[in-house]
Amino acid sequence: MGLQGIKAVFFDLDNTLIDTAAAGRKAIEEVIKALQSDHHCDEREAHMICDKVQAKLLKECHDPSKMCITDLRIQHWEEAIQETKGGRANRNLASECYFLWKTTRLQHLTLAEETRGMLNDLRKDVHLLLLTNGDTQTQREKIEACACQPYFDAIVVGGEQKEEKPASSIFLHCCELLGVQPEDCVMVGDSLDTDIQGGLNAGLKATVWINRTVTAPKDTFPVPHYIISSVLDLPGLLQNKEGVNSEINQVSSSCNAYDSSSKDYRSLGY
């Protein structure tokens, strides 16, 4: 395999290796059905409650020293129900909605057979590391649900570190775990703001952006080294096969400033 000196590949989890967004949509559909069939909500109310919860998740700021993630997310549902239906807060209904949403989403988080095969093949030649942002409990539950542990030499969860992606420190920590240098590594992920910017910040050999829309938006920033439409295209890219990858000019250091006010919510796995 023509890996051109690459010794390690770092993979994001949500919407890179597993389709968290699709699993989340299925989970929301189940909650909407339950609200209508079991709790006397009309269709509009059920959709409104779920829309409000998803908006709260996007804005979520979680401090585990103050509240566990379970209590925080039950609170999201409690607030959404009260904001929609009025009256007194209904903690029991909120808990039921939360656990239905969580359980259904985890059930649909799977590592596709093709992805398993790709990881097995890559690991014959390079070290593989899973690098995911997010709350420790939430991300560890996803990792267990999709059973991806055997495919990686190490797993790093942002919520367990001092800093998350795009901070260079977490990438350098990953390099230390594998005994490699940043210039030996590639970062693969769907988020420009965390995966790509973080890889650039840490000086990795290359960054690979998963862009399922195929057509790159104009003025993409930060600029990834490569763009592919599916993680399954990665082996072809590493082998430098023609027609598989879309190569971008090397990013100059002057373009690597991270704007902390910008968030790529498409890739958030909650």
> Which residues in the chain come in under a pLDDT of 50?
1-2, 241-267
Distances (CA, A) of 174 to 8, 88, 128, 130, 164: 10, 48, 10, 9, 12
**Nearest-10 crossing angle of helices 91-107, 69-85:** 120
Report the pLDDT value the prediction gives residue 84, as an integer from 0 to 100.
97
The token duo for 254 is: 């002057």
Report the pLDDT value the prediction gives residue 194, as an integer from 0 to 100.
98
The token duo for 157 is: 């969860």
The token duo for 140 is: 């560890």
Please give the class, per CATH, of domain 21-107.
Answer: mainly alpha
pLDDT, tens digit (0-9, with 9 covering 90-100), for 111-165: 999 999 999 999 999 999 999 999 999 999 999 999 999 999 999 999 999 999 9
Distances (CA, A) of 62 to 57, 87, 149: 10, 27, 25
Give the C-alpha separation, 2 to 261, whole Å.
Answer: 39
Domain positions in the chain are 8-18+111-258, 21-107
Q: Which helix (H) or strand (E) holds 81?
A: helix 69-85
Give the C-alpha separation, 199 to 202, whole Å.
Answer: 5
Which residues fall within 8 angstroms of residue 156, CB to CB, at 6 or more apart?
129, 130, 131, 132, 170, 173, 174, 177
pLDDT, tens digit (0-9, with 9 covering 90-100), for 172-195: 999 999 999 999 999 999 999 999
The token duo for 230 is: 């599916």
pTM score of the predicted model: 0.88
Report the pLDDT value the prediction gives residue 216, as an integer from 0 to 100.
61
Q: Are strands 206-210 and 226-228 parallel, antiparallel or unpaired?
A: parallel
Residue indicated by tokens 């059905």:
33
Q: What is the 3-state secondary structure (H, E, C) of 174-237?
A: HHHHHCCCHHHEEEEECCHHHHHHHHHHCCCCEEEEECCCCCCCCCCCCCCCEEECCHHHHHHH
Distances (CA, A) of 80 to 25, 56, 95, 96: 17, 9, 12, 13
Q: Return the percentage of the chain with pLDDT > 90, whole number.
A: 82
Domain range 8-18+111-258, its CATH number among 1.20.1730.10, 3.40.50.1000, 1.10.3470.10, 3.30.360.10: 3.40.50.1000
- First-to-final CA distance of the chain: 36
Residue indicated by tokens 């690991």:
123
